[in-house]
Amino acid sequence: MRELRIRELKYSLHLFSSNKLVVIGTAIVLFYVFLAVFGRLIVDAGEPYRLDLKNALKPPSSEHLFGTDDLGRDIMKLIVLGAGYDMAVSIFVVAVSIAIGTVLGAVSAYLGGKFDEVFMRLVDILFAFPGLLFAMAIQMILGKSLFNLAIALIVVWWAGYARLMRGQVLAEKGKLYVRAAKSLGLPGHRILFKHILPNAIYPLLVSATMDIGGVMLSAAGLSFIGLGPTPFEPEWGALVNRGAPFLFVAPWIMFFPGLMILLASLGFNLVGDGLRDILDPRLRR
Partner 1 sequence: MGAALTMRAEKSETGNDVLIKVEGLRKWFPILGGVLQRTVGYVYAVEDATFDIKNAETLALVGESGSGKTTVGLMLAKLEPPTAGKIIYRNRDVSRLSSSETKWYRKRVQMVFQDPYASLNPRMLIKDTIMEVMKVHKVGGRNSYDNAVELMTRVGLSEEHLYRYPHELSGGQRQRAVLARALCVEPEFIILDEPTASLDVSVQAQVLDLLKSLQDEFHYTYLLITHNLAVVRYISDRTVVMYRGMWVESSPTRKLFGGAEHPYTRALLSSVPIPEPRSNVAKQLLKGEPPNPTERVKACPFVDRCPHVMPVCGEKMPPTTWINGSHQVRCWLSVKK
Partner 2 sequence: MNGILEVEDLRVEFRTYRGIVKALNGVSFTVERGEVFGLAGETGSGKSVTGLAIQRLLPGNAAIVGGRIVFDGKDLLSLKEEDMNKIRGKEITAVFQDPHTYLNPVFTVHDQFRDILLMNDREIASLKDKREVKKAVDNKIIQMLAEVQMPAPERVVKMYPHELSGGMKQRMMLAMAFSLKPKLIIADEPTTALDVTIQAQVLELMKSLQRRYGTSVILITHDLGVIAETCRRIAVMYAGRIVEMGGVDSVYNEPLHPYTRGLMRALPRADKDMKVESIGGSVPDLVGLPPGCPFHPRCSRAMEVCRKLNPKTLNIDGRVVECHLYDEEIAKGRVA
Among 199, 246, 251, 255, binds partner 1 (CB under 8 A): 199
Cα separation, 168 vs 204, in Å, equals: 9
Q: How many helices (H) and strands (E) does the chain have?
A: 11, 0
Which span (95-103, 121-129, 186-194, 239-247) binds partner 1, by CB under 8 A?
A: 186-194
Write phi, then psi, for 238 (nearest 5 degrees). -65, -35
Nearer to partner 2, 14 or 189 (CB): 14
Report the site for partner 1 in 158-177 (rule: CB under 8 A). Answer: 175-177
Q: CA torsion angle for 162, 124, 268, 250 (degrees, to 10)?
A: -150
Question: Which DSSP string do the residues of 10-48 spell out, in sequence order?
Answer: HHHHHHHHT-HHHHHHHHHHHHHHHHHHHHHHHS-TTGG
- Give min distance, CB of 175 to partner 1, in A: 7
The residues pairing with 200 across neighbouring beta strands, listed in sequence order, are none
Binding mask 99-138 for partner 1 (x = CB under 8 A): ----------------------------------------
Contacting partner 2 within 13-52 (CB under 8 A): 14
Contact string 246-285 vs partner 2 (x = CB under 8 A): ---------------------------------------x
Q: Give DSSP secondary structure letters for 118-137.
A: HHHHHHHHHHHS-HHHHHHH
Contact between 281 and partner 1 by CB under 8 A: the answer reads yes
Binding site for partner 2 (CB under 8 A): 11, 14, 285
